[in-house]
Amino acid sequence: MVAENSTEIPDTEIPEVEEYTTESAPVEEYTSESLASQFGEPQPAAGTGRRKNAIARVRIVPGSGKWKVNGRTLEGYFPNKVHQQEVNEPFKVLELDNRYDVLARITGGGVSGQAGALRLGVARALNDADVDNNRGPLKKAGFLTRDSRAVERKKAGLKKARKGTQYSKR
């Protein structure tokens, strides 16, 4: 004899749909406030950058793109165009030109080290202002990484860090 296991499935009521439509739900109207909250109004922020012996303390505030570096304009403090471009790179990557005013105080190091420190400080401040939107592009461009290279120390018995006296066989 073969035993059959049968379970009865109770009839469940399926709700009937009265009407089908291909139209989507109404779209919520966007206002400038809702867009600003979604994409982020420019926020004030601060960051510290270091490079070699230079230290830059940076504050960014929403504005028109004015720079104050140790009380001077960017062109007055960094007359070299290469240094001006290097400092502006984080704004160019994020396409935020002329949206923030930058207030910076830089100490120590030389001109190139100060420019690198200022760039790192600006990038960190922009990251602090809006982490969700700014961190990815800044990190991909390498602006959030501190350049740890520094001058090698002088060793005993040598003239400089690696240069020794010239050897003469005879």
For 121-161, the pLDDT digits (tens) are 999 999 999 989 999 999 999 999 999 999 999 999 999 99
Query: Which pLDDT score, from 0 to 100, does residue 3 have?
Result: 60
Query: Which pLDDT score, from 0 to 100, does residue 13 have?
Result: 72
Question: Which whole number is the average pLDDT over 19-42?
Answer: 58
DSSP bridge partners of 104 = 58, 69
What would the pLDDT profile of 67-87 be if each residue is shown by its tens digit?
999 999 999 999 999 999 999
**CB count in 10 Å sphere of residue 74:** 19
Q: In the structure encoding, which two tokens stand for residue 6, read together?
A: 């049968």
E strand intervals along 70-125: 100-107
Asked if pLDDT for residue 63 goes beyond 60, the answer is yes
- 42 falls in which pLDDT band (50, 70, 90)? confident
Whether 57 and 46 have beta carbons less than 8 Å apart is answered as: yes
- 34 falls in which pLDDT band (50, 70, 90)? very low
Question: Which whole number is the average pLDDT over 18-29?
Answer: 65
Report DSSP state, residue 72.
B
First to last CA, the chain: 113
- 35 falls in which pLDDT band (50, 70, 90)? very low
Asked if pLDDT for residue 6 goes beyond 90, the answer is no
By three-state DSSP, how is residue 52 classified? coil
Question: Which whole number is the average pLDDT over 44-52?
Answer: 95
What is the dihedral angle through the alpha carbons of 80, 84, 87, 90, rounded to the nearest 10 degrees? -140
Task: Report domain extents, the chain.
Answer: 41-141
Length reported for the chain: 170
Q: CATH number for the 41-141 domain, one of 3.40.190.10, 3.30.56.10, 3.30.230.10, 3.40.50.2300? A: 3.30.230.10
